[in-house]
Amino acid sequence: MILRRALFLDRDGTINHDPGYLGNPEQVVLFPTVGESLSILKNQYDFILIVVSNQSGVARGFIEVEDVDRVNQRINELLEGYNVKIDAFYYCTAHPDFNSKEECECRKPSPKMLIDASKEFEIDLNSSYLIGDSKSDIEAAQNAGCKSILIKTGYGKETLNALLSENNLPNFVAENFKAACDFIIKDISGEQIEY
């Protein structure tokens, strides 16, 4: 069996603007170059595209599961214009302040969502990547054995400072989404990369 590689994506703050507990699909705004970049990675390099996001707004009572699903659907509607779509959306609605330890097992930095996706889609985690803007994203990638890319959108700049202070750096730090995807293309082609 040949395992495929995936690009795991955090959602809010990584592929779209994060207004805080996003529940209204009309508020979905993709960051520049997200559509074009994902289209290249999926259609030219055969990446499986999987969103893995913590959606604790459900546990907090700010949004409903249906709202999360509608936002996810809207993201794919916007991506259709670029001839690409997210293959699957995994999300964890739990938060330790409101849920049991067992219910929070899916919550990043746990690698559970990535591992579940790897089983469902026959993914090789070691040849896969995760792009995210938070510490929990980078740690989830590390815990799953993926390469981690911190993007400086969303909470990325604050996250970089926190990771620097812990001497726990991601594989790459990207100014924007296109830079993150350019890194992936160079990395899989074996080019030497300046970190």
Domain ranges of the chain: 6-188
Q: Is-above-0.75 flag for pTM?
A: yes
Cis peptide before 109 (omega within 30 of 0): yes
Q: Which amino acid is at 121?
A: F
Tokens matching residue 73: 């659907």
CATH class of 6-188: alpha beta
Cross-sheet strand order for the sheet of 129-132: 88-92, 48-54, 6-9, 129-132, 147-151, 172-174
CA distances in angstroms from 57 to 26, 66, 70, 100, listed in the order given:
17, 12, 14, 16
State how far the Cα of 78 lies from the Cα of 175, in Å rounded to an integer: 23
Closest CA to 79 of 50, 111, 108, 39: 39
Confidence of residue 194 (pLDDT cuts 50, 70, 90): low
Q: Which amino acid is at 93?
A: T
pLDDT tens digits, one per residue of 100-156: 999 999 999 999 999 999 999 999 999 999 999 999 999 999 999 999 999 999 999
Coil/strand/helix, residue 6 = strand
State how far the Cα of 178 lies from the Cα of 135, in Å rounded to an integer: 20
Confidence of residue 192 (pLDDT cuts 50, 70, 90): low
Task: List, by residue number, the catalytic residues.
Answer: 10, 12
Cβ(164)–Cβ(43) under 8 Å?
no
Q: Does residue 193 surpass a pLDDT of 80? A: no
Confidence of residue 79 (pLDDT cuts 50, 70, 90): very high
- Which H or E element spans position 75? helix 65-80
pLDDT tens digits, one per residue of 17-68: 999 999 999 999 999 999 999 999 999 999 999 999 999 999 999 999 999 9
**65-70: long-range contacts (C-beta < 8 A, 24 or more apart)?**
65/93, 67/23, 67/24, 68/23, 68/93, 70/23, 70/25
